[in-house]
């Protein structure tokens, strides 16, 4: 597991290329029938900001894509990198209404980390709406390809990941709906955090 995702902006989680070159070093058996299910849950990570708490996680699944949606917005703290390009630190606090269970403290829950997940996605779109502001981050093959702009928005606070796995790296990129439902049940028992899984057409 890569712990740097709890401390750094998402676009600086490296070394992405190291994961892409040697994925088995990070994921073990790439032919494991459970690998895609484990990857679907890799976006469930935690940063203790102390003020926001997610009470529901929704997962929408079809064979080629998983969308993970939280009912809380990550923080969008605008900053500039060394090249002067607008970026945003995006973190997520996840818990229940009256607690803040730390997903990242339990290795059985957070296995790979967001950086490793991003490395094996052909496409990952992150949409963030928080405190009247909104931004989108589009990654292809682990690289941020857009210039994220934080704009005013009237949307309710939420964070959403759209994940599509890279067939040039992984032999199996198909998501199994029934296996994800089973994993969600296990996750709920371990954390008490509701996860709703729905099948997309």
Highest mean pLDDT among 38-42, 96-100, 145-149, 170-174: 170-174
Helix (H) and strand (E) counts for the chain? 5, 10
Instruction: Give me the pLDDT at residue 15, please.
Output: 59
Give Cβ neighbours of residue 33 (< 8 Å, ≥ 6 apart). Answer: 172
Alpha carbon distance 10, 88 (integer Å): 8
The pLDDT confidence band at residue 52, using thresholds 50, 70 and 90, is low
Q: Is residue 189 classed as helix, strand or coil in its secondary structure?
A: helix
Alpha carbon distance 90, 79 (integer Å): 11
Query: How many other β-carbons are positioned within 10 Å of the β-carbon of residue 100?
Result: 16
Alpha carbon distance 71, 74 (integer Å): 10
Mean pLDDT of the chain: 75
Mean pLDDT within 131-141: 88
CA 38 vs CA 42, 44, 52, 109, 196: distances in Å: 7, 11, 26, 9, 16
DSSP 97: T
Q: Which fold has domain 3-194?
A: Heat Shock Protein 90 (3.30.565)
Q: Is 111 exposed, middle or buried (0-12, 13-18, 19+ CB in 10 A)?
A: middle
The domain ranges of the chain are 3-194
Rounded to two decimals, the pTM is 0.78
Query: How many other β-carbons are positioned within 10 Å of the β-carbon of residue 101?
Result: 16
pLDDT above 70 (res 84): no
Q: Is 152 exposed, middle or buried (0-12, 13-18, 19+ CB in 10 A)?
A: exposed
Mean pLDDT within 131-145: 86
| Alpha-carbon torsion (166, 46, 179, 195), positive or negative | negative
Instruction: Give me the pLDDT at residue 66, please.
Output: 97
């Amino acid at each position: 597991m890569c712990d740097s995702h709890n401390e750094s902006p998402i676009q600086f989680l490296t070394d992405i290329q190291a994961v892409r070159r040697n994925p088995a070093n990070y994921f073990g058996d790439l032919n494991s029938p459970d690998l895609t299910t484990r990857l679907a849950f890799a976006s469930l990570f935690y940063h203790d900001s102390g003020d926001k708490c997610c009470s529901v996680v929704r997962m929408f699944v079809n064979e080629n894509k998983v969308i993970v949606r939280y009912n809380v917005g990550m923080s969008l703290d605008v900053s500039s990198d060394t090249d002067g390009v607008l970026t945003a630190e995006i973190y997520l606090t996840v818990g229940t209404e009256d607690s803040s269970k730390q997903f990242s403290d339990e290795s059985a829950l957070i296995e790979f980390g967001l950086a490793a997940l991003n490395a094996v996605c052909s496409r990952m779109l992150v949409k963030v709406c928080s405190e009247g502001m909104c931004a989108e981050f589009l990654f292809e093959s682990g690289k941020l390809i857009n210039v994220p702009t934080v704009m005013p928005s009237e949307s309710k606070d939420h964070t959403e990941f759209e994940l599509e796995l890279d067939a040039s790296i992984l032999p199996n990129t198909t998501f199994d709906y029934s296996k994800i439902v089973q994993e969600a049940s296990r996750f709920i028992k371990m954390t008490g955090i509701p996860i709703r899984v729905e099948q997309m057409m």
